[in-house]
Amino acid sequence: MSIAPGDTIGILGGGQLGRMLALAAARLGLKAHIFAPEADSPAFDVTPLQTQAAYNDREALARFASQVAVVTYEFENIPAATATLLTNWRPVFPTADALAVTQDRLSEKAFVGSLGIATAPYVGVDDAGSLARAVAQIGRPAILKTRRFGYDGKGQAFIREGSDLGSAFRSLGAAPCILEGVVPFVREISVVAARGQDGSFAAYDVCANEHVQHVLSRCAVPASLSPDTAGQALEIARCIATKLQYVGILAVEMFVVDDPRVGPLVNEIAPRVHNSAHWTIDGAATSQFEQHIRAICGWPLGSTRRHGSIEMRNLLGEEVSQWRDLLSREGACVHLYGKREVRPGRKMGHVTVVGTENPPVETSGSGQN
């Protein structure tokens, strides 16, 4: 089925990512229908087409599918069964298969490893006994993470010398987990890229990411990497997207270590638009949100050309109270998500500044389509 302006995109999830996807769809003459369980979903504010229902509400999903031309999602924690069910009625991009691999940290790591790409050392953990064996194998310190449903550092426990393993496992609800060795990274980076239905591929320049208490705080592009490392990071993203036969935007989070013989290690894959590419709204020829819409509609991908050097800061929790001051800053592009409740670490908005420095060396050959 070919999709044209005037058609409706279905989006599962009503957070700020769904909101920015709906706004990008509107710019392309498309309508957006948001399906989300929470009444106060920020994405509900920007489109009249909405369904408030649970992700396992089969009737609501069927009705939703009948009202949209294509389905996508704003986060990977929707049940894979929901994506599979919707596939009976409408195209779903990224596919339910890509979602299944990337929403489980264990299958994701196994998949990345099968491509010959490095990750942190890891072992699956199903119970307290296997956690003890895993710690013996990986050593301390290590990070215990739930296989599913983690985000912004939620669902993680740090295992130090002397940490009690039983209580660490119980603190994560005794859910199936993965134990990872701690990577001594010097920098965290991400590659956000799109793959089209025709196999076309377009990556944005590599972004350097700083986290505060596991939540993304600041992004900078260029990431000031060696051209070699930047090239390897882009190639990793391309390889992953190709092997998943991916359609849409995906983000690959990576660690860079202080050893020129070791390439970037993949931390996780996000099968969706990603916080580390919010800068593309103001700082690139095509925003990641528009690019995602183009890809899922089977439309040509846009240029990922960057307008200048980028600094993006998240407004976390109370930082959003500075909005009035930020609005009066020269060159600050302020985005507010309209969330009523301010909680510590909650993503309330972001600010992008596009500088006028010369394009960095690493932009050459960076995977433009």
* Smallest distance from ligand ADP to CB 213, Å: 9
Q: Are 264 and 225 in contact (CB under 8 A)?
A: no
Q: Per this entry, what is the length of the chain? A: 369
Q: Which stretch binds ligand ADP (CB under 6 A): 20-28, 40-48, 147-155, 333-341?
A: 147-155
* Smallest distance from ligand ADP to CB 188, Å: 6
How far apart (Å, rounded) are the C-alpha atoms in residues 138 and 127?
Answer: 16
Q: Is 74 in the site for ligand ADP (CB under 6 A)?
A: no
Q: Is 183 in the site for ligand ADP (CB under 6 A)?
A: yes
Comparing CB distances to Mg ion, the nearer of 170 and 211 is 211
| Residue 150 binding result from ligand ADP, Mg ion, none, given CB thresholds of 5 to 8 Å by partner type | ligand ADP
Q: Which long-range contacts (CB under 8 A, 24 or more apart) does 127-133 make?
A: 127/169, 127/174, 128/165, 128/166, 128/169, 128/174, 131/165, 131/168, 131/169, 131/177, 131/179, 132/165
Q: What is the largest CA-CA distance in the chain?
A: 60
* Smallest distance from ligand ADP to CB 244, Å: 18
- Contact pick of 76, 104, 108, 188 for ligand ADP (by CB under 6 A): 188
Of 62, 211, 64, the C-alpha closest to 151 is 211
Comparing CB distances to ligand ADP, the nearer of 141 and 365 is 141
Q: Which stretch binds ligand ADP (CB under 6 A): 15-23, 51-59, 87-95, 149-157?
A: 149-157
Beta bridge partners of 334: 351
- Contact pick of 153, 176, 308, 338 for ligand ADP (by CB under 6 A): 153
How far apart (Å, rounded) are the C-alpha atoms in residues 290 and 282?
Answer: 12
How far apart (Å, rounded) are the C-alpha atoms in residues 73 and 9?
Answer: 10
Where is 8: in which H helix or E strand?
strand 8-12
- Contact pick of 27, 214, 329, 343 for ligand ADP (by CB under 6 A): 214
Comparing CB distances to Mg ion, the nearer of 104 and 253 is 253
How far apart (Å, rounded) are the C-alpha atoms in residues 296 and 277?
Answer: 18
Q: Is 160 in the site for ligand ADP (CB under 6 A)?
A: no
Q: Is 14 in the site for ligand ADP (CB under 6 A)?
A: no
* Smallest distance from ligand ADP to CB 166, Å: 22
Q: Is 180 in the site for ligand ADP (CB under 6 A)?
A: yes
Q: Are 119 and 263 in contact (CB under 8 A)?
A: no
- Contact pick of 30, 61, 143, 334 for ligand ADP (by CB under 6 A): 143
| Residue 104 binding result from ligand ADP, Mg ion, none, given CB thresholds of 5 to 8 Å by partner type | none
Q: Can you spell out the DSSP letters for 18-63?
A: HHHHHHHHHHTT-EEEEEES-TT-GGGGG-S-EEE--TT-HHHHHH
Which residues fall within 8 angstroms of residue 143, CB to CB, at 6 or more apart? 156, 157, 158, 159, 179, 180, 182
Number of H helices, E strands in the chain: 11, 17
Q: Is 311 in the site for ligand ADP (CB under 6 A)?
A: no
Q: Which stretch binds ligand ADP (CB under 6 A): 157-165, 182-190, 220-228, 304-312?
A: 182-190
- Contact pick of 117, 120, 135, 320 for ligand ADP (by CB under 6 A): 120
Q: Is 267 in the site for ligand ADP (CB under 6 A)?
A: yes
Comparing CB distances to ligand ADP, the nearer of 17 and 25 is 17
Q: Is 104 in the site for ligand ADP (CB under 6 A)?
A: no
How far apart (Å, rounded) are the C-alpha atoms in residues 176 and 156?
Answer: 12
Q: What is the dihedral of CA 254, 257, 263, 265, to 10 degrees?
A: -30
* Smallest distance from ligand ADP to CB 207, Å: 13
How far apart (Å, rounded) are the C-alpha atoms in residues 184 and 266?
Answer: 13
* Smallest distance from ligand ADP to CB 159, Å: 11
> Which chain residues interact with ligand ADP by CB under 6 A?
120, 143, 150-153, 180, 182-183, 188, 211, 214, 253, 267-268
